[in-house]
Structure 1
């Protein structure tokens, strides 16, 4: 059973001069590209995704977000919230091209770039290629170049570990920069709602609220044994996160095992026609994530969880990599048809693409040993 970090480890994480990590996150990436390429859309609420009754919002501009429109929201609901919403079909080939431009900018400063999707990445600039030394200055330069070379804005977070850098990049969105310096992490985390922690979803936040946990400070008051009692395998992560501790290295070109999406329904579903229609929504959500990751793969898995919480999965592998939504949908529909009619109503459905055709790299790629940073943060 893992032990909590020793006081020495925690102190080392907060000590100056360990690592310099930047998290860069493009602002409303898909929607911003559409507004850039169609000037008549600028300043107007835009959603990227399907506008049909069973469509899903893949991305929303900040003008649309002001009305409550969010990614993964059913398009019908988005239109209810914002009747003036303008839909655009995704242009993934354009988004990939822009992402490659942005990736090239990152690589001008460090080879240690860990892409999370087309629109965000971690950079380890503990030793940067240009000898600038200041992670804050590098983040400023990267944001300036992204604006100048792509016409888009990016937000960035700068800190001494990945967890804090990601929190920081979301702090001053859009078009913002936030720096959490060595020694400041624990205090920064203490003031945040636990819903801001990566991996704490709506249900997790609701469970924490029932335990009287609203902020990082509340979470920090619980010992590891109590956290394990209530949160199981997630306890060790929560223990460290509440203290601003994250020892993960930036992993350049980290290989993915799978990409997909799943949804738990408000009510259990049993009708074959409803399940087929719902599957299309799940495929849309899964394909959005697959496209963001710029991934292709050969195995499609359909996951179903029933009313009694038992689960069923069916998978099919194909000879050629699945590189389009049409191909993904064809396989996923076939898997659902194989299991219909179902033995009982379904409460969750998921679609995943695996056996990905992505370049792997040694597990130590991109890691920077502690103690290398000697220049200002």
Structure 2
């Protein structure tokens, strides 16, 4: 039986800001973009959440809900510094740390000798150390697998801890609403409710064959999760799936020419991110994609197979995406999807991957070709 801890810093960006500027404590606070520039809330403190402000909400909408909301720009360097200190504390207890983001991680402490091998005591000590050494609060969930540990970490937020013992897993999961299952969004939840399924206990009345027939491959996930089954391991070296950049524009881009002009800086930023990633791991590109959000908030993505970032190919994909609706564009992104690790290892038997995947700068860029 494994011992998994899921740690999640409470409203991380906002907490760092309140730590560094005590005058921000106790007032509704959000970190994000300006309302008059189509900014979006990255995170907010609990005072702001009491008014209905949420992450990913347009800043203009957040201000309507909470007129006294203070919105400040993100300071990624300080957030990254705090994250490094927190992750270093986690690694004092186990090498099996799987970061999910700057403020969230899984820890497998099954074989840890700290605190007499007690996952509960380890989680308690970690939370105390982060508070004392970093000045931030972390909520934690302790359970026999990743799925339950993640749900448990939300149970007593903020600054709380919840433990689900192996003997309690079945009862704990049975009462969960189906929306708590990862991958169950609004559409899937409506389909389940149409079948009379509101909770995991309801979902258990359906066989694996029934769920697979109705939901395809995802049916097996539903069958397992509603029973508290999750065999995923904590992986310190999680495989990178994609690298991308995007921008929301203060003024809609109304023509393809305007979009092409805006694409060039995005390609430069993407190239920089790919190069940074290459310093620590192989980057095996399988596809390139363009993401568009139109002024009416509808979305579309155009993608194609690729060996590298080719500006000509990107402009072709951009034309495809923009041409689908011919409406003003408020957000544009560009990114690459990675080749699966197994395929990468096979190619490395025969090729120097860095020679196979050239990264070409945008047209007009005087920088040398990077390989």
Q: TM-score, normalised by structure 2?
A: 0.73
Q: Deviations over 1:250-299 (max 9, x none)?
A: 1112121215699xxxxxxxx9539989xx9xx99xx9xxx9xx968888
Find out whether 1:273 has 2:254 as its counterpart: yes
Seen in structure 2, the aligned counterparts of structure 1 residues 38 and 254 have a Cα distance that, compared at 3 Å, is same
Matches within 5 A, 1:67-78: 67-78=51-62
SS of 1:33's equivalent in the other structure is helix
Q: How far 1:124 moved relative to its partner?
A: 0.5
Aligned to 2:220: 236
Aligned residue number for residue 89 of structure 1: 73
1:132 is paired with a residue whose SS is helix
Q: Displacement of 1:38 after TM fit?
A: 1.2
Q: Which residue of 1 aligns with 2:165?
A: 181
Q: State which of 192, 196, 205 in structure 1 corresponds to 2:189.
A: 205
Q: Contact conserved, 2:16 with 2:136, CA < 8 A, in 1?
A: yes
1:44-59 alignment, distance < 5 Å? 44-53=27-36, 54-59=38-43
**How do residues 284-363 of structure 1 correspond to structure 2 at under 5 angstroms?**
301-303=289-291, 312-313=302-303, 317-318=308-309, 338-339=319-320, 342-344=323-325, 351=333, 353-354=335-336
TM-score for both structures, normalised by structure 1:
0.72
- Would the alpha carbon gap of residues 305 and 28 (structure 1) be closer, same or farther in structure 2, given more than 3 Å must change? closer
Tell me which of 12, 19, 30 is aligned to 1:36.
19
Query: 2:134 corresponds to which residue?
Result: 150
Report the Cα offset of residue 355 of structure 1: 6.2
Q: What is aligned with 1:322?
A: none
Aligned residue among 3, 9, 12 for 1:26: 9
User: Aligned partners of 2:107, 2:139: CA distance in 1, in Å?
Assistant: 13
Determine which structure has greater relative contact order: mean sequence separation of CA pairs < 8 Å that are 6+ residues apart, divided by chain length.
1
**CA distance in structure 2 between the aligned counterparts of 1:85 and 1:107, rounded to whole angstroms:** 37
Determine the structure 2 residue equivalent to 1:4: none
Over residues 41-73 of structure 1, what are the superposed CA-to-partner deviations in whole Å (9 max), with x where a residue is unaligned?
Answer: 101111111013411111111111111111111
Cα 1:181/1:313, change in 2 over 3 Å:
same
Kept after mapping to 2: 8 A contact 1:304/1:313:
no
- The aligned counterpart of 2:360 is none
Task: Judge conservation of contact 2:30–2:44 (CA < 8 Å) in 1.
Answer: yes
Partner of 2:350: none
Structure 1 residue aligned with 2:145: 161
Instruction: State the Cα distance separating 1:318 from its structure 2 match.
Output: 4.6
Q: How far is 1:141 from its partner?
A: 0.2
Could you say what secondary structure the match of 1:313 adopts?
A: strand
1:122 matched to 2:122: no
**Which residue does 2:354 correspond to in 1?**
none
- Does 2:42 align with 1:61? no
Contact 2:35 2:59 in 1 (8 A): yes
CA shift for structure 1 position 232: 1.5
Inter-CA distance 131–39: structure 2 relative to 1 (3 Å threshold): closer
Deviation at 1:79, TM superposition (A): 1.0
The total of aligned residue pairs comes to 313
Q: In structure 2, what is the equivalent of residue 219 of structure 1?
A: 203
Contact 2:302–2:321 at 8 Å: present in 1 too? no
Q: Distance in 1 between matches of 2:163 and 2:79?
A: 28
CA shift at 1:185, angstroms? 1.2
Distance change (3 Å), C-alpha of 1:332 and 1:65:
farther
Q: Could you list the runs of 5+ residues in structure 1 that have no partner in the other structure?
A: 1-17, 263-270, 320-329, 364-377
Give the greater-gyration-radius structure (CA).
2
2: CA distance, partners of 1:69 / 1:232: 36
Tell me by how many angstroms 1:33 deviates. Answer: 0.7
**Kept in 2: contact 1:115–1:253 (CA 8 A):** no
